[in-house]
Amino acid sequence: MTTSTAAPASAPFDRAHTDDLLTFLAASPTPYHAVAEAARRLDGAGFRQLAEEAAWEGTPGGKYVLRGGALVAWYVPEGVEAHTPFRIVGAHTDSPGLRVKPQPDFSAHGFRQVAVELYGGPLLNSWLDRDLGLAGRLSLRDGSTKLLTVDRPLLRVPQLAVHLDRGVNEGLKLDRQRHLQPVWGLGEAHEGELIAFAEREAGLEEGSVTGWDLLAYPVEAPAYLGRENEFVAGPRMDNLFSVHSGVAALIAASRSGELSSIPVLAAFDHEETGSQSDTGADGPLLGNVVKRSVASRGGSYEDRARALASSVSLSSDTGHAVHPNYAEKHDPTHHPRINGGPILKVNVNNRYATDGAGRSVFVAAAERAGTPYQSFVSNNSMPCGTTIGPITAARHGIKTVDIGVAILSMHSVRELCGDKDPYYLANTLVAFLEG
């Protein structure tokens, strides 16, 4: 761990930011809820939502666009030129889990069940014997959408008793098709009953829902944990942790009088499945916002090229803290610790986008914020994951740096972080956006 010695020029967040993270996680059971909550906070800070199909004006101020489970927000300071560079914080709104299939209703041996498909790479055993709610987006016959939240124990994936699987403690094996279908009632299932239930819960007329993007989620609330409450346990930290800090940092930066760039938050969907969608980092959303922002301020292709050439992006995602019971899984010289501050992610095979020049950008932000920071590399004997960082760098030609926060139990129903790391990250992001 490296401790910044420079006096912090901008450190607006403290333990109250961590308290607020718990609130944000609870309010965001799905990507659609996460961007709605982010938009609510941006609205409260004076940002305006822009419709993609409408003409954009080049006026100063805070703006954002929503598309599905993705959000891009930015702040245009007074008097900026068309070639002014962007400082971008990238994150993602989706998390691994169980998503409802198109024909969800079936029954087996007297149990009503819901057919689900695995999204991303969930830690499967963590979904067993959990009280699960149901949430997501309902698409209506008239073309509108409505959010659904059934925030109570409704579904459960029951594990087989040890008496019927005597070898379970020597190695649990789950069949992804047969063993992860939740129960939600008794009796024979009838086609359409889950969506009819969703319509009633959402206060909609019967038959009004013609499409849905629904998922199961754990209803256990996020909470502090530990002898001195030095941990936070909760769902979907990968990667709502970064979305929450990014929203807070953008709002804080918009109130600064020190901006020399245009600060941006890009919160994408579908990172866990490769980012190739109209709302993913490999889609056109961020690029369109940049193009239209420059053009609305009278800029040309040349202005946009100049802006991108000087722009920088921090791809912020969670990383692996050294595990006290499995330290051999980590690189022996890089042991990121919980509450050790943001981590700089490095992989020379470009699974992360960081290079030496990018490290300097990150270190400058951490020193400006007065936050500690650490480095992360994978053990050479293990494959390295990836993020939206390399995608952002390649698609937009923007210098990109992969960072994040060290957590335990990544992709579990309930992940674990430190109580200080949320505000360490937020303060570092503010310093970066202020530039």
Return d(Cα 429, Cα 435) in angstroms, integer: 10
Of the candidate ranges 75-79, 169-173, 254-258, 310-314, the one whose mean pLDDT is the lowest: 254-258
Report residue 137's pLDDT band, with 50, 70 and 90 as the boundaries: very high
Determine the average pLDDT of the residues in 341-368: 97
pLDDT attached to residue 10: 52
Determine the average pLDDT of the residues in 60-74: 98
Q: What is the three-state SS of the chain? A: CECCCCCCCCCCCCHHHHHHHHHHHHCCCCHHHHHHHHHHHHHHCCCEECCCCCCCCCCCEEEEEEECCEEEEEEECCCCCCCCCEEEEEEECCCCEEEEEEEEEEEECCEEEEEEEEECCCCHHHHECCCEEEEEEEEECCCCEEEEEEEEEEEEECCCCHHHCCCHHHCCCCCCCCCCCCEEEECCCCCCHHHHHHHHHCCCCCCCEEEEEEEEEECCCCEEECCCCCEEEECCHHHHHHHHHHHHHHHHHHCCCCCCCEEEEEEECCHHHCCCCCCCCCCCHHHHHHHHHHHHCCCCHHHHHHHHHCCEEEEEEEEECCCCCCHHHCCCCCCCCCCCCCEEECCCCCCCCCCHHHHHHHHHHHHHHCCCEEEECCCCCCCCCCCCHHHHHHHHCCEEEEEEEEEECCCCCCEEEECCHHHHHHHHHHHHHHC
Strands 86-92 and 312-320, by their bridges, are parallel
Report residue 3's pLDDT band, with 50, 70 and 90 as the boundaries: low
> How confident is the model over 159-218, as pLDDT tens digits?
999 999 999 999 999 999 999 999 999 999 999 999 999 999 999 999 999 999 999 999
